[in-house]
Structure 1
Protein backbone atom coordinates (compact mmCIF):
# COMPACT_ATOMS: atom_id res chain seq x y z
CA UNK A 1 0.00 0.00 0.00
CA UNK A 2 1.17 3.50 -0.67
CA UNK A 3 1.41 6.42 1.74
CA UNK A 4 -0.35 8.79 -0.69
CA UNK A 5 -3.17 10.78 0.84
CA UNK A 6 -6.40 11.47 -0.94
CA UNK A 7 -7.39 15.09 -1.41
CA UNK A 8 -10.97 16.09 -0.80
CA UNK A 9 -12.65 17.47 -3.87
CA UNK A 10 -16.01 18.91 -4.79
CA UNK A 11 -17.82 16.35 -6.95
CA UNK A 12 -19.72 19.17 -8.73
CA UNK A 13 -16.50 20.85 -9.88
CA UNK A 14 -14.74 19.57 -12.96
CA UNK A 15 -11.10 18.66 -12.55
CA UNK A 16 -8.74 21.38 -13.67
CA UNK A 17 -11.35 24.15 -13.61
CA UNK A 18 -11.63 27.00 -11.18
CA UNK A 19 -14.88 27.96 -9.51
CA UNK A 20 -17.13 30.18 -11.67
CA UNK A 21 -16.42 33.88 -11.34
CA UNK A 22 -19.01 36.14 -9.74
CA UNK A 23 -20.03 38.50 -12.55
CA UNK A 24 -22.22 40.76 -10.37
CA UNK A 25 -19.20 42.86 -9.41
CA UNK A 26 -17.66 43.03 -12.89
CA UNK A 27 -18.51 46.39 -14.52
CA UNK A 28 -17.32 45.16 -17.93
CA UNK A 29 -20.25 42.71 -18.18
CA UNK A 30 -23.18 44.51 -19.78
CA UNK A 31 -26.73 43.21 -20.20
CA UNK A 32 -27.81 42.08 -23.65
CA UNK A 33 -29.43 44.67 -25.89
CA UNK A 34 -33.11 44.50 -26.84
CA UNK A 35 -33.26 43.17 -30.43
CA UNK A 36 -35.98 45.71 -31.30
CA UNK A 37 -34.72 49.01 -29.85
CA UNK A 38 -31.19 48.36 -28.56
CA UNK A 39 -31.91 49.31 -24.93
CA UNK A 40 -30.04 47.10 -22.40
CA UNK A 41 -32.38 44.30 -21.26
CA UNK A 42 -32.70 43.83 -17.53
CA UNK A 43 -35.61 41.38 -17.46
CA UNK A 44 -37.66 39.32 -19.91
CA UNK A 45 -41.21 38.56 -18.73
CA UNK A 46 -43.12 35.63 -20.27
CA UNK A 47 -46.86 36.19 -20.03
CA UNK A 48 -47.94 33.33 -22.27
CA UNK A 49 -46.77 31.08 -25.08
CA UNK A 50 -46.46 33.97 -27.52
CA UNK A 51 -46.23 37.04 -25.25
CA UNK A 52 -42.75 38.02 -24.00
CA UNK A 53 -41.82 41.55 -22.94
CA UNK A 54 -38.48 43.15 -22.21
CA UNK A 55 -37.89 45.48 -19.29
CA UNK A 56 -37.30 48.38 -18.97
CA UNK A 57 -38.14 49.31 -22.61
CA UNK A 58 -41.40 47.30 -22.80
CA UNK A 59 -40.80 45.91 -26.31
CA UNK A 60 -42.48 42.64 -27.25
CA UNK A 61 -40.33 39.78 -28.46
Structure 2
Protein backbone atom coordinates (compact mmCIF):
# COMPACT_ATOMS: atom_id res chain seq x y z
CA UNK A 1 0.00 0.00 0.00
CA UNK A 2 1.34 3.43 -0.97
CA UNK A 3 1.48 6.20 1.57
CA UNK A 4 1.60 9.90 0.83
CA UNK A 5 3.86 12.29 2.71
CA UNK A 6 3.17 16.03 2.62
CA UNK A 7 6.26 18.19 2.69
CA UNK A 8 5.96 21.92 3.37
CA UNK A 9 7.87 23.80 0.67
CA UNK A 10 6.73 27.36 1.43
CA UNK A 11 5.04 29.20 4.26
CA UNK A 12 4.06 32.89 4.58
CA UNK A 13 1.80 34.96 6.87
CA UNK A 14 -0.59 37.32 5.07
CA UNK A 15 -3.31 39.83 5.96
CA UNK A 16 -6.90 38.60 5.64
CA UNK A 17 -8.07 39.27 2.04
CA UNK A 18 -11.21 37.36 1.04
CA UNK A 19 -10.00 36.89 -2.54
CA UNK A 20 -7.13 34.74 -1.32
CA UNK A 21 -9.53 31.83 -0.72
CA UNK A 22 -10.49 31.91 -4.41
CA UNK A 23 -6.83 32.00 -5.47
CA UNK A 24 -5.96 28.99 -3.29
CA UNK A 25 -8.95 27.06 -4.66
CA UNK A 26 -7.87 27.86 -8.22
CA UNK A 27 -4.26 26.79 -7.54
CA UNK A 28 -5.39 23.51 -5.96
CA UNK A 29 -7.54 22.65 -8.98
CA UNK A 30 -4.91 23.75 -11.49
CA UNK A 31 -1.82 22.18 -9.93
CA UNK A 32 -3.23 18.93 -8.51
CA UNK A 33 -1.51 16.91 -11.25
CA UNK A 34 1.83 18.35 -10.07
CA UNK A 35 1.22 16.95 -6.55
CA UNK A 36 1.07 20.43 -5.04
CA UNK A 37 -1.46 21.41 -2.39
CA UNK A 38 -2.11 24.92 -1.10
CA UNK A 39 -3.62 25.50 2.32
CA UNK A 40 -4.83 28.46 4.36
CA UNK A 41 -5.03 28.68 8.11
CA UNK A 42 -5.83 31.60 10.38
CA UNK A 43 -3.16 32.64 12.88
CA UNK A 44 -4.13 32.53 16.55
CA UNK A 45 -2.34 35.69 17.71
CA UNK A 46 -2.94 38.36 15.08
CA UNK A 47 -5.65 36.73 12.97
CA UNK A 48 -3.49 36.82 9.83
CA UNK A 49 -3.90 34.11 7.23
CA UNK A 50 -1.07 31.68 6.75
CA UNK A 51 -0.54 30.33 3.24
CA UNK A 52 1.16 26.93 3.16
CA UNK A 53 2.35 25.06 0.07
CA UNK A 54 2.73 21.29 0.32
CA UNK A 55 4.24 18.77 -2.04
CA UNK A 56 2.72 15.29 -1.86
CA UNK A 57 5.36 12.60 -2.22
CA UNK A 58 4.44 9.00 -2.95
CA UNK A 59 6.31 6.45 -0.84
Same fold? TM cut 0.5: no
Which protein is bigger by CA-based radius of gyration? 1
Normalised by the size of structure 2, how large is the TM-score? Answer: 0.22
Higher RCO (CA < 8 A, seq sep 6+):
2
- Which is richer in helix? 2
Normalised by the size of structure 1, how large is the TM-score? Answer: 0.21
